[in-house]
Amino acid sequence: MAQQQSKPKGRVLIVAGSDSGGGAGIQADIKTVTALGGYAMTAVTAITVQNTLGVTGVHEVPLDIVTSQIEAVMSDLGADTWKLGMLGSAAHVRAVMEAWYAFGDGLPVVLDPVMIAKGGASLLAEDAIEIIRNELMPIAAMVTPNAPEAEALTGIEVRDLDGQMSAAEILVEQLGAWSALVKGGHLRGDTVRDVLLTREGYRVFESPRIETRATHGTGCTLASAIAAYMAQGFELEPSVEKARAYVMEAIRQAPGLGQGHGPLGHNWPLKGKSGA
């Protein structure tokens, strides 16, 4: 493996599934990292058949191909952060974890524990959750679950701010993640609260809820934005702050496509920069 550069270059290796509709998954990740000035690379774990109305098919990429993609990227281009999204099966979770130890040991990992698609389709096998909890969590510099995902990982109810804080505490202090961002977009209320817990304590981010159907891929986008900022040398907390601002504006500038949960306007930072 090529020796890693000590100075951040903005390189993000994204290990996740593909979204044929372009609003979530690998496609949203690439758009996000690019829009924020980073360099996106990928290892595709699954090919999904989906659009804004939902997921109608999933084809898992063979394990050796997933691992080979990671090795190919790391042996040549290197990375500054890894972003893990849809991993699918227990075997895929373990293969990616072993690949990190083999090719990326020491690099920060932003883990978005994708379990259920916006339309309700399951994207993570039940037995994979235990491996994420017990084996993958300790290598995560940050884990970014929404409320249902936090419930599945911690076994407690996450229905309000207290639940978010309790779940974050379990993720960090019991399961071993370096930091946790428990998102509140699925909870009720006019204010969306995201709870960040690091080894230095809590911070609660607040923003007005935007009433819109353009919410497809918000979790993927937020995690990739955090990874992009970390890859460029920002610390955890500023990365979250800047990533949340990026996502909120991407929601506001959504293109209004599709009949269901529409995609975000990922390219908004690039508008007006082309000189056209």
Q: Which of 38, 218, 221, 265 is catalytic?
A: 218
* Percent over 90 (pLDDT), the chain: 85
Q: Is pLDDT at 60 greater than 80 in this prediction?
A: yes
**167 burial type by CB count under 10 A (0-12 exposed, 13-18 middle, 19+ buried):** buried
262 occurs within a structural domain: no
Question: Of residues 31, 83, 118, 183, which has the active-site annotation?
Answer: 183
Per the domain annotation, does 272 fall within a domain? no
Q: What is the pLDDT of residue 266?
A: 98
Sign for the CA dihedral angle at 29, 31, 32, 36 comes to positive
Q: How far is CA 30 from the centre of its chain?
A: 12
Q: How far is CA 21 from CA 50, 251, 262, in A?
A: 6, 17, 10
**Does a structural domain hold residue 264?**
no
Complete DSSP assignment for 73-94: HHHHT--SEEEE---BSHHHHH
pLDDT of residue 214: 93
Catalytic residue among 104, 217, 258, 262: 217
Residue 183 designated active-site: yes
Q: Which of 219, 258, 262, 265 is catalytic?
A: 219
| Total of domains in the chain | 1
Residue 121: pLDDT band (50, 70, 90) is low
Q: Is the pTM of this model over 0.75?
A: yes
CB 241 within 8 A of CB 256: no
> For residue 181, what is the DSSP state?
E
Cα–Cα distance between 138 and 133 in angstroms, integer?
8
| pLDDT single digits (tens) 83-107 | 999 998 999 999 999 999 999 988 9
Please report whether residue 275 resides in a domain: no
Supply 131's token pair: 């491996």
Per the listing, tokens 């017990």 go with 134
Tell me the one-letter amino acid at 159. Answer: R
The predicted structure's pLDDT at residue 2: 42
3-state class (DSSP) for residue 266 = coil
Strand 109-111 vs strand 81-84: parallel, antiparallel, or unpaired? parallel
Question: Is-contact 185 168, C-beta < 8 A?
Answer: no
Active-site residue, selected from the candidate residues 220, 221, 262, 265: 220
Kindly tell me if the per-residue pLDDT of 218 is higher than 50: yes
What is the end-to-end Cα distance of the chain in Å, rounded?
Answer: 41
Residue 228: its pLDDT value, please?
98
171 lies in a domain?
yes
On whether residue 182 sits in a domain, the answer given is yes
Per-residue pLDDT tens for 169-212?
Answer: 999 999 999 999 999 988 989 999 999 999 899 999 999 999 99
DSSP summary character for residue 268: G
Answer whether residue 180 is part of any domain: yes
Contacts of 66 (CB under 8 A, 6+ apart): 15, 43, 44, 45, 92, 95, 96, 99
Binning pLDDT at 50, 70 and 90, where does residue 274 land?
low
Mean pLDDT of 219-245: 97
pLDDT digits (tens, 9 = 90+) for 36-52: 999 999 999 999 999 99
The residue that leads in pLDDT, 31 or 124, is 31
Could you give the angle at which helices 218-231 and 25-35 cross, rounded to 10 degrees? Answer: 40
Q: What is the pLDDT of residues 131-176, one digit of tens each?
A: 999 999 999 999 999 999 999 999 999 999 999 999 999 999 999 9
Query: Residue 276: pLDDT above 50?
Result: no
Catalytic residue chosen out of the listed positions 9, 215, 242, 260: 215
pLDDT of residue 272: 72
H/E run at residue 221: helix 218-231
Judge whether 215 counts as a catalytic residue: yes
Other CB atoms closer than 10 Å to residue 258's CB: what's the count? 18
- The residue behind tokens 């970390």 is 230
Task: Reply yes or no on whether 220 is catalytic.
Answer: yes
Query: Which domain does 219 fall in, by range?
Result: 11-251
Note the pLDDT of residue 124: 74
CATH number at residue 98: 3.40.1190.20
Which pLDDT band, with edges at 50, 70 and 90, does 1 fall under?
Answer: very low
User: 110 with 226: CB under 8 angstroms?
Assistant: yes
| Phi, psi (deg, nearest 5) at residue 128 | -75, -25
Residue 267 lies in a domain: no
- Annotated catalytic residue 9: no
